[in-house]
Amino acid sequence: MPDFSNTFTTAPGSAASNREDLTDILSILAPEETPVLSGGSRKKASNVNFEWTLDKLDDPAATGVVEGADVAAFTDAFAARERTSNYVQKFRRDYMVSDLQEATDSVGPAKLAEAEAKSIRELKRDIELTLCGSQDKQVGNGTDAYLTAGLGAFIDDTPATGLVPAGFETPGSSIYATTGFNEAKFNDLISSIYRQTGNVDSLTLVADTGLRRVISDFARVGGLLSDSVRSVNYDGGSSTIKLSVELYQSDHGIVSIINGNPACMPASTGTTTTATGYLVNPEYYGIHELIPMGSTRLPNQGGGERGYVDCVLGLGVYHPQAHGKITAID
């Protein structure tokens, strides 16, 4: 800890009578939004392994039927149906305040309730980081923990073996992972998802900071950054000029643009490492809770009060073809 000029340390004399001026303000500066955790539907899990089924329609056919012809053979309407699954994952943050600190007058204050509240905020960020990751699922065995697969693992044209059934993978055309990202490429992604779902009005782009800036620059008419012209929205009543893009009107519907938590979004490849984005349809992913988030207080064993907050949950991506992702822009 550094020495401060108004604080008496070891020098005798007049400095010994100086008062400390410590303002009763404690600041914590960190992004806390959890859009992926908050955006998915909530389901109740009843096991560490939770499953769901996927199905699809046959390709349309223009085959005619001869007049008077009987049905000679029948097709299994559910022949394409498949089952997939994910594991839940246990999340936990512990907290403690010593008995001396609890009794001391401090900035903050450093009390057990505040420690508990801080741990809850940190736990939510842990969950968001996991949901936004590309890790595969893992079964627990007493040594290794159960791990839930993240969005990046499900939204993949070559997912890990056993995670997404064959024929239900996210098309490569719904994933952008190279250089030269621009508005035309963004529309290509939207068009690809539309060809799978027939609707993108529920689509949301959860974007890291670098990608969000590129999307906002779609409003630029042309030219270099220094001399280009922007198409802007001007609200004369409030004297506000909006340069950000929150709703993108594509050829196939409106896409919402929201900020991802920069502390939780995985790094993108290429020069810009803050360009990861997930195009997600909230109707087709959800959070499966085996144990809801809660706090447990533990006995004071002499050092001070303590406890932990925890929960057990996993990610369900009900149809990977309903989503897309961006992992590079340059």
Instruction: Please say if the pLDDT value at position 167 is more than 70.
Output: yes
Indicate the pTM of the whole model.
Answer: 0.86
Pure H helices in 132-200: 151-154, 183-197
pLDDT at 237 over 80: no
Residue 53 pLDDT > 60: yes
Tokens for 291? 């144990």
Distance between CA atoms of residues 44 and 42, nearest Å = 7
Give the chain's mean pLDDT: 87
- Greater confidence (279 vs 25) lies with 279
Partners of 135 in beta bridges: none
pLDDT number for residue 223: 46
Q: Which residues is 175 bridged to in the sheet?
A: 325
The whole-number average pLDDT for the span 125-143 is 97
Q: What's the rounded Cα separation, in Å, for the pair 181 and 326?
A: 9
Quote the percentage of the chain above a pLDDT of 70.
Answer: 82
Structure tokens at 234: 């001007």
Domains annotated for the chain, with CATH where assigned, are 35-53+82-326 (3.90.1690)
Higher pLDDT, 114 or 53: 53
| 29-47 burial code (b ≥16 CB/10 A, e <16) | eeeebbbbbebbeebebee
CA angle 131, 132, 134 (to 5 degrees): 95
pLDDT at residue 233 is higher than 70:
no
Residue 132 has pLDDT above 50, yes or no: yes
Q: What pLDDT is attached to residue 10? A: 57
Q: Per-residue pLDDT for 234 more than 60?
A: no
Q: What local confidence, expressed as pLDDT, does residue 9 receive?
A: 57
| Rg of the chain taking only CA atoms, in angstroms | 26
DSSP string, 258-275: EE--TTTSPPPBSS-SS-
Average pLDDT in the 275-281 region?
97
Cβ neighbour number for residue 292 with a 10 Å cutoff? 11
State mean pLDDT over 204-230: 76
Which is nearest to 50 in space by CA: 321, 298, 312? 312
Residue 226: is its pLDDT beyond 50? no
**Is the pLDDT confidence value at 89 over 90?**
yes
Band (pLDDT 50/70/90 cuts) for residue 313 is very high
Average pLDDT over residues 187-198: 95
pLDDT at position 109 is: 53
Q: Give 152's pLDDT tier (boundaries 50, 70, 90).
A: very high
Residue 314 has pLDDT above 60, yes or no: yes
Query: Which carries the bigger pLDDT value, residue 177 or residue 240?
Result: 177
pLDDT, tens digit, 9 for 90 and up, residues 104-120:
766 655 688 888 999 99
Question: Do residues 147 and 87 make contact, with C-beta atoms less than 8 angstroms apart?
Answer: yes
In the chain, the amino acid numbered 160 is: A
- What long-range pairs does 217-225 form, CB within 8 A, spacing at least 24? 218/183, 218/186, 218/245, 218/248, 219/243, 219/245
In the structure, what pLDDT confidence band is assigned to residue 244 with cuts at 50, 70 and 90?
Answer: confident
Q: Is the pLDDT of residue 315 over 70?
A: yes
Task: Give the pLDDT score at 114.
Answer: 87
